[in-house]
Structure 1
Amino acid sequence: MSSELSIVYAALILHDEGLEITADKLQALVKAAGSEVEPVWTSLFAKALANQDLGALLSNIGAAGAAAPAAGGAAPAAGGAAEAPKEEPKEEPKEESDDDMGFGLFD
Structure 2
Amino acid sequence: MSAELATTYASLILADENLPIEAENILKLTGAAGVEVEGIWATLLAKALEGKDVAELLTNISSGAAAAPAAGAPAAAAAGDAPAEEAPKKEEAKEESDDDMGLGLFD
Same fold (TM over 0.5): yes
Query: Number of residue pairs matched?
Result: 71
Q: Any idea what the Cα deviations from partners look like across 1:23-80, whole Å, max 9, x if unmatched? A: 0000000000000010000000000001111011101222325769xxxx8xxxxxxx
Rg larger in structure: 1
Structure (1/2) with the larger helix percentage: 2
Following TM superposition, the consecutive aligned residue runs of length 4 or more in structure 1 with deviations greater than 4 angstroms are 65-68
Q: How does 1:7-46 map to 2 (within 5 A)?
A: 7-46=7-46
Letter of the aligned partner of 1:16 in structure 2?
A: D
Q: Is the CA contact (8 Å cut-off) linking 1:60 and 1:66 kept in structure 2?
A: no
Q: Give the fraction of aligned pairs with identical amino acids, expressed as a percent.
A: 52
Question: Gapped runs of 5+ residues in structure 1?
Answer: 74-89, 93-107
Where relative contact order (Cα < 8 A, 6+ residues apart) is larger, the structure is 2
Q: Is the CA contact (8 Å cut-off) linking 2:7 and 2:26 kept in structure 1?
A: yes
Question: Gapped runs of 5+ residues in structure 2?
Answer: 72-88, 92-107
Aligned-CA RMSD value: 2.4
Correspondence 1:54 to 2:54: yes
TM-score by length of 2: 0.59
Paired residue secondary structure (2:56): helix
